[in-house]
Each structure stands twice: as C-alpha cells, then as structure tokens.
Amino acid sequence: MQNSNELNKVTMFYGASSLIMDRAKQLRRRMTKPENIVWEIVRENAILGLKFRRQHPISNYIADFYCHKIKLVIEIDGATHHQESAKLYDEHRTNVMNSFGIEVIRFSNKDILSDITFVKKTIQIKCKGLLKE
C-alpha cells in the first residue's frame, strides 16, 4: 500500500525522480523574463480559481507551468525551440504528456513580450474549455 506522499508523486508528478525534482527547484529560482510574466498571470489562482505550479516535474520532464486539476501544461518557448532537434524533442515531450491525459499549449517568448493580452485570453479560453470537460 502506498502512502500519500508516494501516491502524490505518482499522480501529480507522474513518477518524476528526485533528480528531476531538484532540477525543477533550481529552475524556479531563475525563471526567464517571459516565464515571470506568465507566472504573474496564473499565480495565486488568478485564472478561474485554478492553481498553477511553476517548473513542475512530470515524469522525466519539467513543465514551465502546470495545473493538475485540469491537466494543462503551459510551455514558454525561447529561440532555441525553433531548431529542428528542439522541435522534435518538444513534439516527443508533448506526446509523453498527452499520454498522461495532459494537454499542452505553447507560447513563444515573442508572443509573451509583444502581446500578453492574447496570451492571457488564450490561457483563459483553454482553461474554461477544460473545466467544462
């Protein structure tokens, strides 16, 4: 029988290792400017009362932002994500998260820095849709 900590690790973190957990903690300490902007939008249950976590471990990956209640990941993509190898990695990563029933939406740094209203509205619409399911 699993205790609640072990069960939580499986259900919320999808079996993430302690190495991934430590790496996520490090990333929370040094978020990028676009990540900080999105964090200000989603923190403290600001979107429809939903709790988002930043730099959240999921299996072998770390999601920029994750809401467990509606199983939504928000990813922020910098310039390196335009490289072909990064696109393939991101596609694989998204497929793994989808296999857990998690939806992934992505925004570029440019989207966030140039049209934060669009980003916020897109997040709100996606959250509303997932809450209805």
Distance from C-alpha of 33 to C-alpha of 45, rounded to nearest angstrom: 20
Tokens of 46: 């600001």
Q: What is the pLDDT of residues 14-38, one digit of tens each?
A: 989 999 999 999 999 999 999 999 9
Per-residue DSSP letters for 45-94?
A: GTBTTB--EEEEEETTEEEEEEETTTTEEEEEE-GGGGSHHHHHHHHHHH
76 neighbors 32 (Cβ within 8 angstroms):
yes
Query: Would you kindly state where each structural domain of the chain is located, as residue ranges?
Result: 4-132
Q: Which fold has domain 4-132?
A: Endonuclease; Chain A (3.40.960)
Supply the pTM of this predicted model.
0.90
98 phi, psi to nearest 5 deg: -60, -35
